[in-house]
Amino acid sequence: MSQAKVPVWVNVGLIPFINIVLAFLVSGLVFVAIGQNPIEAAGYLVYGAFGYDEGVGYTLYYATNFIFTGLAVSIAFKAGLFNIGGEGQAYIGGLGVGLVCLSLDHSMPFIVIMPLAIIAAALFGAAWAYVPAYLQAKRGSHIVITTIMFNFIASSLMVYLMVNWLKEKSGMAPNSRTFEENAWMPYLHNMLSPLGIDIGDSPLNGAFILALICCVLVWALIWHTRWGYQLRTLGTNPTAAKYAGIDTAKVTIWVMLISGGLAGFVGINEIMGVNHSLLLNFTAGYGFAGIAVSLMGRNHPIGIVLAAVLFGALYQGGAELAFEIPTITPEVVVVIQGLVILFSGALEHMFKGRIEGFFIRRAAAQEK
Amino acid sequence: MTNNKTPYAIELRDISKRFGAVQANKDICLQVPAGTVHGIIGENGAGKSTLMSIIYGFYEADSGHIEVDGQIVDIRNSQDAIKAGIGMVHQHFMLVENFTVLENVMLGAEGGALLQQGMDAARAELKRLAHEYSLDIDVDAVVEELPVGLQQRVEILKALYRGARILILDEPTGVLTPQEADHLFRILRSLTEQGVTVLLITHKLREILASTTNVSVMRQGEMVAHRETANTDKEELAELMVGKKVRLKVDKDEATPAEVFLSAKHLSQLDSQGVKRLKDVSLELRAGEILGIAGVSGNGQSELLNVLSGITPLDEGEIQFAGQTITASAPKNAAELRDLKMAHVPEDRHKMGLVTGFEAYEAAVLGYHNSDAYNGKILMNRKAMLEECNSRMAAWDVRPPNPHLKTANFSGGNQQKIVIAREVEQNPDVLLIGQPTRGVDIGAIENIHEQIVKLRDSGKAILLVSVELDEIMALSDRILVMFDGAVVGELDAKDADERTLGLMMANAYNEDQKGAAQ
């Protein structure tokens, strides 16, 4: 009965908040140790992330990637599957986007290229998730192992393709040519300026809207369709799923396809939205960070948006911080991110029991 | 023994324990004279297990204290309990299956860095104990090769080896045949003759009456009565347990079996290790009858339910159901069988019948979640699900009647009602029902039994699997007995008595005549 007595806001609000505050306190100690004023550093970080329009734009641009990968991890997790392969799926999703843009940007208008690129991102990401999903569902190979392996394969495959096939003929760097502008995802500041709204120039683009749409769709899918019902049953009680006659292999494969497709959308944001060319290593760890985002967001779309914004803020504010205080290297910023992940992910149960106990006792006392 | 200067081997004074808002034990007082078997009886959730866990040091009491031989003892963990001379035999054995009896007994008391010395000492001590308490056993036998009755004996020896003078047995007969149980009670009697004190936890009235000196009854966390076993009877104890008069009989008319709804021929099934779990089982299930499957748990009943309900595919044989022939090469899964109007209340509602993380209204459509009644074009029809859940909760008296409460937060009986209501309200032709009243309190048992009989009377076919002989005998019209994956006997319910069934369950019916004398 105990769970019923703990108010919801404690679990979704208070406990994550306490964990993050602790992460920042420990980060403060790190700053003191390298001889910096932690208050000043925190000021730069917060200002950099939220203090001015362009900063907010950058924060949300990073958050877009985290929303995609966070959703990808969480939907698989809802079915009891740990998809570690977001990185590779995002990478291959980007390849799909790049191929569509490179082959159509001379002949087709944006209105044709955009939906095709979105479909390609989803299909390529899903295809990359399909093999591990099939092996898990039909052969029992553990999905954690196979998805990790597929990250490495994706990485090598991209290097091969870029160097041997997709590299711009004249250039030295393993980049494709830049797409024509009709294959660019429009920037949000360009979309909003005709309406008289000025949000400052930033890489924030249409992919952000796609990310928010995905949140709503994933939420409806998981909690309001029979298909989501099946995947939640499988995720919480596989034996009951069998009892209910749910085809667990089919659900496993489908959920991984969707998960891979969501991760693939990182390619829309990065390739079509910002880089406008196909290049190496554009995923930059977003796939792995998605695991932390999903954990922190309690596998719920709203939580994932909040966690994604936090991570986006850390990326953007951290870059700003490293710029303002040269002794703070980008590595220190990674330490802060690591601490946030440590406290809100790995150590999430450190205070949970005690805080919940406090509210249970209080509820019990009020009953009397 | 020096405990004859104090009258009580163990005494509990005002033990209280609270888990969050739940008062699991309240001001429990208990006095157990040395050398007696003391029964503690109560419904599931009455607080028996909590109390025993406090005595054995798994939990600490919020208030109150424990005296052993008149001395206050401070028990904070199981080591303290062992030091105080308290031993425990758990419901699920804590044995290393591929170790020998000797290795199991000395586990945790190896004595020294090198094993051999300790082993020799343990062997000698074990021999002495076996002799003293007449607990014969081959100390070099591997535990997994022993029958459960003997495995339990190993547990008892383990406790005695550690110097236990007070032995707690938690539901010790759940896995035993009636004959094995009787044997256990004889062992307990001889233990008490040697001055050992036994605390026997059970919810089975028959065992209390058969084996104890005194009995204490718990209800909702409190000790409600202490009785001398000789001066009480089944009815009084049952009444004390539930707090109102109950019937142990089910009222039902003669069955009028009609056409065969389901017939199974020569079913066999292998588990993942290639061991045959079902051996050539054939049965016919007719409209308007309750077919009971009796047997000690683990003798193929679960596999039979799983194969019939389509959860696991069968390996040999065929099933005729609703005009369809189901074989190994033409299987049907659980969803397809549901569509053919077969319903299944699984033996284990937590593992199989419910998703405990779901709210009640969601769990109430498990297996029927694809039905048009609960779905719109794309989204599920939450309103329809809630309405139906509300009306079922009212009809089946599920408490609390809150469709949004997580399934895990209902009591066992109410969870079971949610499952049974779900399956019965679909108006199935065939209902497979396993352990319908396991962990359910007596008030709810009556209700569930009535519903099962009502379904039978409306011309449906019911296959009942239960390890409770009382239940099998009260409900069934015809009884099949399973042993080691095979059907070893069939009886008309009118001819069934506990002794016959018990012998069949131990596959000893044919040699029965010579054993009848004992």
Q: Do B334 and A367 touch (CB under 8 A)?
A: no
CB-CB under 8 Å, B409 with A3: yes
Write down the pLDDT at residue B445: 85
Is B338–A245 a contact, with Cβ atoms under 8 angstroms apart? Answer: yes
List the single residue in B21, B333, B338 with the smallest CB-CB distance to A1.
B21
Best interface-test mutation with B: which of A1, A3, A219 has the largest number of B CBs within 10 A?
A1
Buried b (16+ CB within 10 A) or exposed e, B430-465: bbbbbbbbbbbbbebbbbbbebbbebbeeebbbbbb
Where in the sequence is the domain holding A272, given as residue range(s)? 37-326
Q: Which pLDDT belongs to residue B1? A: 40
Q: Does B162 touch chain A (CB under 8 A)?
A: no
pLDDT computed for residue B297 by the predictor: 73
The mean predicted confidence, pLDDT, of chain A is 91
Indicate if the pLDDT at residue A326 is higher than 80: yes
Residue in B22, B336, B346 closest to A243 by CB:
B346
pTM flag (> 0.95):
no
- Running along chain B, 518 residues long, what does each successive block of 10 average in pLDDT? 61 87 84 92 79 89 90 88 90 86 84 79 88 84 86 89 90 78 88 91 81 90 91 82 62 84 93 82 94 86 94 93 92 93 92 92 94 92 94 89 89 88 93 88 82 92 88 92 90 85 76 45
Q: Which of residues 222-261 of A touch B (CB under 8 A)?
A: 224-226, 229-230, 232-233, 236-237, 239-240, 242-247
Q: What is the number of H-type helices and E-type strands within chain A?
A: 18, 0
Judged by CB atoms closer than 8 Å, whether chains meet at A240 and B353 is answered as yes
Contacts of A244 in chain B (CB under 8 A): 334-335, 366-367, 369
Does A3 contact chain B (CB < 8 Å)? yes
Q: Is B275 on the interface with A (CB under 8 A)?
A: no
Q: What is the pLDDT of residues A91-138, one digit of tens each?
A: 999 999 999 999 999 999 999 999 999 999 999 999 999 999 999 999
Domain-embedded: residue A303: yes
Residue A352, domain member (yes or no): no
Q: What is the pLDDT of residue B513?
A: 45
Helix then strand count (H, E) for chain B reads 17, 20
Per-domain residue ranges of chain B: 3-242, 260-355+427-515
Calculate how close chain B gets to A237, using CA atoms only, in Å.
6
Q: What is the pLDDT of residue B21?
A: 63
The C-alpha of A149 sits at a distance from chain B's nearest C-alpha, in angstroms, of 29
Domain count, chain A: 1
Top-tier CATH class for B260-355+427-515: alpha beta
**Shortest CA distance to B24 belongs to which of A1, A366, A311, A271?**
A1
CATH of B3-242, one of 3.40.50.300, 2.170.190.11, 3.40.30.10, 3.30.365.10: 3.40.50.300
Which of B225, B218, B171, B173 lies closest to B42 in space, CA to CA? B218
Tokens of A135: 């092996």
Of residues A115 and A296, more confidently modeled:
A115
B108 token code pair: 């945790």
Whether B382 and chain A come into contact, CB under 8 Å, resolves to: yes
Query: What is residue A114's predicted lDDT score, i.e. its pLDDT?
Result: 96
Tell me the pLDDT tens digit for each residue of A148-207: 999 999 999 999 999 998 988 887 889 999 999 999 999 999 999 898 888 889 999 999
Residue in B22, B336, B380 closest to A225 by CB: B380
Q: Give pLDDT, residue B251.
A: 76
Higher pLDDT, A2 or A193: A193
Helix (H, G, I), strand (E, B) or coil at B226: strand
Length of chain A: 368
pLDDT in tens, A41-62: 999 999 999 999 999 999 999 9
Residue B487 CB neighbours (<10 A): 21
CA distances from A244 to A238, B195, B369, B464 (A): 10, 53, 9, 19
Identity of residue A302 = I
Find chain B residues with C-beta within 8 A of A364's C-beta: 20-21
Contacts of A1 in chain B (CB under 8 A): 20-22, 409
- On the question of pLDDT at A276 being above 50, the answer is yes
Q: Which of A230-244, A340-354, B444-458 has the lowest mean pLDDT?
A: A340-354
For residue A33, give the 3-state DSSP assignment.
helix
CA atoms of B400 and B255, how far apart (whole Å): 35
Give every CB contact of residue B67 below 8 A, 6+ residues apart in sequence: B8, B10, B11, B12, B13, B73
Integer Rg of chain B from CA: 25
